[in-house]
Structures are given as C-alpha cells and as structure tokens.
Amino acid sequence: MNVLSIVGARPQFVKAFPVSNALRPDHEEILVHTGQHYDAELSDVFFSELPIPEPDYNLGIGSGTHAEQTGTATMAIDETIRDHDPDAVVVYGDTNSTLAGALAAAKRDTTLVHIESGLRSGDRSMPEEINRILTDHAADLRCTPSRRADETLAAEGITDGVARTGDVMYDALLTVRERALAESTVLDRLGYADGEYVLATVHRAANTDDPTRLEAVATALGAAPLPVVFPAHPRTVDALKREGLYADLAAAVDLVDPVGYLDFVRLLDGAERVATDSGGVQKEAFYLETPCVTLRDRTEWVETVDAGWNVLVGADPAAIGAALEREFDPDPKAEPYGDGNAAAAIRSAIEEYC
C-alpha cells in the first residue's frame, strides 16, 4: 500500500508518529507537512524528539485567514496526491490542514482516511468543529476513538466506513511517558517540584480573539492558588500584548515559550492541575490522571468530563479559581478511548478498506 499522510500543526505530529511507525514496516508512506506551524518550538522540536520520520514535503503554507490557509494547502496537497497516486490519504484531527487534505483527497481517486473521526463539541462557532464535520462527511474510512464517536456519526447518517480504533494520542503518550520521566529536565530548569504548580495552555480562538475572555482567563491564572507554568502559543502572546495584558500576566505567572513534547508530558504528569483550552491536553491529562480545568464552554472529549477528570469552566474567573482548588472525584476505571493500541488498529483498518 502507498499511503500519503498529511500533518501541519503541533498536535498532528504527535498523532502521526505512532501511525507512521505502524505503517512503515509493510507499506510505503509519504509524509506531507503543510507548514501551517513553522516556528521551531511548534514544529521542528517534535521531529527531532519523537520517532517520526522527517516530512517528504513541506508545503510552506504558513499563517493566514482560514480561507487562505485552507485554499493554499488544498492546492498544494492536491499536487502531491496527483504525483504519488496514493492508495490512501490519511488526515488527522480538525485543523485547516486536515480539511485541506480532505478536500483534495475527496476529489481524487484515492481513499480518504480521517483519524479522530466522530468528535463534536456541538459548538459550530469553533473553526475546528466545521473542519471535523466536513472531513467526516468527505471521508471514506473514519477511525474513531470511542463508542460515543460512532454514535455521533450514526446520528449524522454515517454507519459505513467506520472503524473504532481507539485514540492514537494514547499510543503516543504511552510511548514517551517513561522517556519523559527519565530524560526531561524541565522541572529542574524551571525550578518546580511535582505537585507544586498548575500547568496552563491557551490558544483557542474563542479565548485569544475575545479581549473580555482573554482578560478573564489572564486574571484567573494570575490569581491561581499555586504557581502557574504557562508555555504560551505565539498567537496568545500576540493577543496578550495587543490587549495590554502581557506585562501583568508575566509578572504573575511563569510565561515561557512552548516546550517540546517530552517536556510537556513531564510538566503535565507532575502538575497538580492543568488549566487549558486545548483538545489534546484534556485527553493527555486524563491518561496521566492530572485533573483538568478546561477553559471552554464545551468539549468534544466529553468522556473525560463524565469520568470526573475534567471540568468545563469557560472563561469565568470565579469558576476557574474554584476548579483549581476543588477536589476531583474521578472514576478510576474509565477507559473510553481504547487501550493505547490504536495505531495497529488504524493500520489494519486501512489495509482492510484498501
């Protein structure tokens, strides 16, 4: 089989490496990086740290409006599909690179595979929600992480071409967790000990592009009951500076550059709480049993909330503060996203479909 895989943004490098490693012994894989993320700490660091092959192409699409990113990437991906004539095109998650890969592949004679299919937050104002819905409906084979995702697809009329494979981010985390504990020096570098800090990440458009929400989140993090380590996405740094919030926040919390995956997993493993609006971090917190305070009104990872490991607090400073202090009473047996062998299941599903 000849598979063309599309990545472009930070979480996709994490999701793709277990699948690349499962495919490559028996199949040919061309790895295409759209270039949506291009700063070293959002891109290169993952390729240097993780067992992921270097991309065969970097399409260099960079930043821009949603239409610019999606349009430019669609055209460039289409050329790579034309040149390689793959049996399958694999896209991950819900970014503009995902949608571009889906649009290009759906109109070529190939099989479109969507990994992390069937996720919905129920919030169509999120650009990611539009990307998920369109990609799921264009796909031929949909690899889902959970029963709920299967049910969501069925409710939208999709029952064929669905394979429940589990969550490939769980594979990724299990692969690096021990390494992160052994090799990462991030706690020493930053001067923290396990259980003595809150980890924070913020980059969702609903928070960065709404000054009221951004200020509320910054205020709440600045008043957290423990020191806060905040590896800040460049989009968030820009927004904080634009709104005049950067200096006060930098004085109140440890604002650092985004860190590599090993350091991030180490920070998340040792954190007393994580406050985040990320999708992937909610799941990783769940796997590492770090209580998660989600700075959003809705989530596509509902099972983490149902299991008691995650609480949705939006951008309300009082709710954020209370959630950072409250006890969590989780269900220790919950395993809604499989057992960490999703990559092998994805390979089998693609082999069977193609």
Length of the chain, in residues: 354
Q: What is the C-alpha to C-alpha distance for residues 70 and 34, in angstroms, rounded to an integer?
A: 10
Q: Tell how far CA 332 is from the center of its chain.
A: 23
Stretch that binds ligand UDP, among 245-253, 254-262, 314-322, 341-349 (CB under 6 A): 254-262
List b or e across 103-126, with b for residues whose CB sees 16 or more CB atoms inside 10 angstroms.
bbbbeeebbbbbbbbbbbbeeeeb
Residue 120 as a binder of ligand UD1 (CB under 6 A): the answer is no
Kindly tell me which residue out of 215, 284, 300, 303 binds ligand UDP, with binding defined by CB under 6 A: 284
Interface size with ligand UD1, residues (CB under 6 A)? 18
**In angstroms, what is the minimal distance from the CB of 9 to ligand UDP?**
7
Q: Please, are residues 201 and 233 in contact by the beta-carbon 8 Å criterion?
A: yes
Residue 141, strand partner residues: 113
Tell me the residue ranges of DSSP E strands in 160-261.
Answer: 162-164, 198-201, 228-231, 254-256
Residue 273 as a binder of ligand UD1 (CB under 6 A): the answer is no
Q: Please, are residues 350 and 165 in contact by the beta-carbon 8 Å criterion?
A: no
CA angle 106, 108, 111 (to 5 degrees): 60
Q: Which does 14 bind (CB under 5 to 8 A by kind): ligand UDP, ligand UD1, none?
A: ligand UDP
Residue 128 as a binder of ligand UD1 (CB under 6 A): the answer is yes
Instruction: Please say which residue, 51 or 244, places its beta carbon nearer to ligand UDP.
Output: 51
Residue 63 as a binder of ligand UD1 (CB under 6 A): the answer is yes
Q: Please, are residues 312 and 295 in contact by the beta-carbon 8 Å criterion?
A: no
Q: Tell how far CA 171 is from the center of its chain.
A: 14
Residues 165-204 that bind ligand UDP (CB under 6 A): 201, 203
Stretch that binds ligand UDP, among 10-18, 26-34, 150-158, 324-332 (CB under 6 A): 10-18
Element (H, E) at 113: strand 111-115
Q: Which does 137 bind (CB under 5 to 8 A by kind): ligand UD1, ligand UDP, none?
A: none
Selected catalytic residue, list 33, 84, 114, 203:
203
Kindly tell me which residue out of 20, 74, 96, 304 binds ligand UD1, with binding defined by CB under 6 A: 96
At 244 the three-state DSSP class reads coil
233 is catalytic: no
Q: Which does 36 bind (CB under 5 to 8 A by kind): ligand UD1, ligand UDP, none?
A: ligand UD1
Tell me the CA distances in angstroms from 62 to 68, 115, 170, 246, 260, one per residue in order: 9, 23, 28, 25, 20
Kindly tell me which residue out of 216, 281, 295, 346 binds ligand UDP, with binding defined by CB under 6 A: 281
Transcribe 134-150 into DSSP letters: HHHHH-SEEEESSHHHH
Residue 234 as a binder of ligand UD1 (CB under 6 A): the answer is yes
Kindly tell me which residue out of 10, 120, 148, 266 binds ligand UDP, with binding defined by CB under 6 A: 10
The candidate with the shortest Cα–Cα distance to 94, out of 125, 137, 133, is 133
CB atoms within 10 A of CB 159: 9
Residue 222 as a binder of ligand UD1 (CB under 6 A): the answer is no
Residues 235-254 that bind ligand UD1 (CB under 6 A): 235, 238
Residue 129 as a binder of ligand UDP (CB under 6 A): the answer is no
Stretch that binds ligand UDP, among 82-90, 139-147, 222-230, 280-288 (CB under 6 A): 280-288
Mind telling me the catalytic residues? Answer: 203
Residues that bind ligand UD1 (CB under 6 A): 9-11, 36-39, 42, 63, 94-96, 127-128, 203, 234-235, 238
Residues that bind ligand UDP (CB under 6 A): 10-11, 14, 201, 203, 231, 258-261, 264, 278-281, 284
